[in-house]
Structure 1
Amino acid sequence: MGQRAKRTTTVTVDLGELKAPWQAWCQAHGITPSHALRSALRQAMDRRATRVPAPRSRVTPKRERATARIELNLTASELAALKKMAVHEGYVPTKWMVAMVRAKLTGQPHVGQPELEALARSNQQLLALGRNLNQIAKVLNTAPQNRTAFRVEVITELSRVIQTHTKKVSDVLRGSVERWHIQ
């Protein structure tokens, strides 16, 4: 008898405690475990391939007053968990839900009060650091003999990164406290 060629399409998976329930499920559905797994993989890959990113709404600076209401029915345990999470994140429950909806609609973060305060402090410190770097760069530009001690382009790039970061943080802060209009 000749030696069988090794199959290159086989995958071995250790199912652990899932093996018995998997075999029982396959038997109950009248299919082999291999066929069921191939079907599940095809279905998962088809869903991923056709999944379209969620549409994001644009926001405009036009202020809009929040007056539309919606009723939401939750279980007692869901409401308790929501309240606990909202307080933990620095919100009252209704504002937490509004922030969650806005973040989902726009794809932009909305932060609670503790995060707002931390971001504001961070921006203040970064701006002070940026001012110090600008002063160093100015001294180096006016006194070329000091250029060997520092690389001006590194300091300039660092200053640019800090300015970009502080602008992003400022935008998050502004977006979290301002009302805006979704288009």
Structure 2
Amino acid sequence: MRERLCVELGGMRPDWNRWCMSRGLTPGEGVRQLIAAALDVDADDLQAESEVDWIAINEPRIRIEIRVTHAERKVVEQRAQASGLTSNRWIVALIRAQLMREPQLGVHEMRLLSDSNQQLAVIGRWLGHLVREGNAVRMVANGGGDLRALRDQIDVHLRAVAAVIRTNLDRWSR
């Protein structure tokens, strides 16, 4: 359903057009964004929740074309390279991050999460060894704290980070 709103801008129209143009918006898009902000409702989120069929791992992709200025393309390429992605993948990540409100991890972030998980796994194994050998009792008696609680917290972190990595890999797999 289309709804139309007519607003008399008078002498403000040239200023409004310049404001919208400086942001890469049409005057209508600018008005819609202002109204959405005023109502504290993001219309894109409402449509995305009901209309988007989230991707499956082997689902075929559909090609779309967008046009950007040379300056915009250069910035996209720089940001994509900094994230360890191609320009196309960076744009897809941007779209998915907007639609899903979830992080879209680049190569660098994935490497950091993987390294973190490996280090925590080593710590978890070390703590498990201490508990099995009885050294934990001596450590607790010496003010070492509750090692089991610490190990449980590390296990929760390991599972959470592994889930983020798995979700990200599934999302990007072709």
- TM-score for the superposition, normalised by structure 2: 0.63
Partner of 2:40: 51
**Matched position secondary structure for 2:59:** coil
Alpha carbons of structure 1 residues 107 and 71: separation in structure 2 relative to 1, 3 Å: same
Rounded Cα–Cα distance in structure 1 between residues aligned with 2:68 and 2:138: 70
Gapped regions of structure 2 (runs ≥ 5)? 1-11, 13-33
**Which structure dedicates a bigger proportion of its chain to helix?**
2
Q: 1:179 aligns with which of 138, 148, 171?
A: 171
Gapped regions of structure 1 (runs ≥ 5)? 1-24, 26-43
1:148 aligns with 2:141: yes
Contact 1:119–1:173 (8 Å) recurs in 2? yes
Alignment RMSD, CA only?
3.1
- TM-score for the superposition, normalised by structure 1: 0.60
Rounded Cα–Cα distance in structure 2 between residues aligned with 1:138 and 1:102: 45
Structure with larger RCO (C-alpha < 8 A, sep 6+): 1
Letter in 2 for 1:51: D
Contact 2:110–2:165 (8 Å) recurs in 1? yes
Runs of 4+ in 1 over 4 A off after TM superposition: 55-62, 143-147
Partner of 2:69: 75
Q: 2:121 aligns with which of 123, 127, 137?
A: 127
Give the paired residue count: 134
Deviation, 1:62, is 4.5
1:168 aligns with 2:157: no
Partner of 2:130: 136
Alpha carbons of structure 1 residues 66 and 87: separation in structure 2 relative to 1, 3 Å: farther
Letter in 2 for 1:156: R
Greater CA radius of gyration, 1 or 2? 1
